[in-house]
Amino acid sequence: MLGENFQIIEGSPDSKVILHLPHSATFIPSDVRSDILLNDDELELELDAMTDTKTEDIALMAVEKCASKPWLFINRFSRLVIDPERFPDEREVMNKVGMGAVYRKTSHGGDLRSPNFAGEKELLDKYFHPYAQAISELVTQRLSAVSNVTVLDIHSYRPEEHQNAINQGQRRPAMCIGTDEFHTSMELKEVAFTSFKSLGELCENEPYAGTYVPLSYYGIDKRVQALMMETRADTFLDARLQMHTGAKSVVDGLFTLIKGAELLK
């Protein structure tokens, strides 16, 4: 299924797992591009800094190994259009650095859009809310078919801190496991840490905390489990942002995590 800015790839009818890939794309529609202040070279650098490069490839390689295929929900537009993982209101902590659901600032704190930009509601209505509704409907559909659903939120992050980050000075391990007190069971957490132990240092909620849950289920329904994997990019990418041999360990770890999540009660 294709929406304007997202794609759903069907998995096996009995799969309990949804892989969510919110930050893997670089495409920006021309009408949205016209409101971005950066020139083309600056925008390319910003996309390099902000895109979770090759995470879709990692996910697809892991899925290929699975007998029971998980479902995939993929953002086909750059997070510079809208960031589907942010709260679209005052709850979002990243609003204070201009990087809420619609970014006003760049990764280094400069202006991405004009201080007078008035198109936020239009972007939310056109892209954010339909995306949120579609992934919520997918979870609802899967819950009608299986007893519970696990959303695995697939990310990567650069070895260096962004200047405009709010998590300065934290550890930057090979793998950060993001968890939620309500939506991440101890069993799911244990599966994740076991799956990725070969990568080296693993941290929980550092430098990034939490995980994505569709807002209509957030804090409400424990049948919806969720966990975020944030792989430090140099674990599987070289300086040219191409995969190196470390990618196999990340793919194998995700494959093991998917298998373990399918078995959770």
Question: What average pLDDT does this structure show over 146-161?
Answer: 96
How would residue 166 be classed by pLDDT, with cut points 50, 70 and 90? Answer: confident
- Render pLDDT for 87-141 as a digit per residue (tens, 0 to 9): 998 898 899 999 999 999 999 999 999 999 999 999 999 999 999 999 999 999 9
Peptide bond just before 207 cis, omega within 30 deg: yes
Q: What is the pTM of this model?
A: 0.96
Cα separation, 149 vs 16, in Å, equals 5
Exposure string (b/e) for 233-265, b if CB count within 10 Å is 16 or more?
bbbbbeeeeebeebbebbbbbbbbbbbbbbeee
Angle at alpha carbon of residue 204, lines to 202 and 205, rounded to 5°: 130
Angle at alpha carbon of residue 73, lines to 70 and 76, rounded to 5°: 140
Look at domain 6-27+51-82+131-263 and name its CATH class: alpha beta
How would residue 174 be classed by pLDDT, with cut points 50, 70 and 90? Answer: very high
- Render pLDDT for 11-44 as a digit per residue (tens, 0 to 9): 999 999 999 999 999 999 999 999 999 999 999 9
Would you kindly state where each structural domain of the chain is located, as residue ranges? 6-27+51-82+131-263
pLDDT at 169: 76
- Terminal-residue alpha carbon distance, the chain: 28
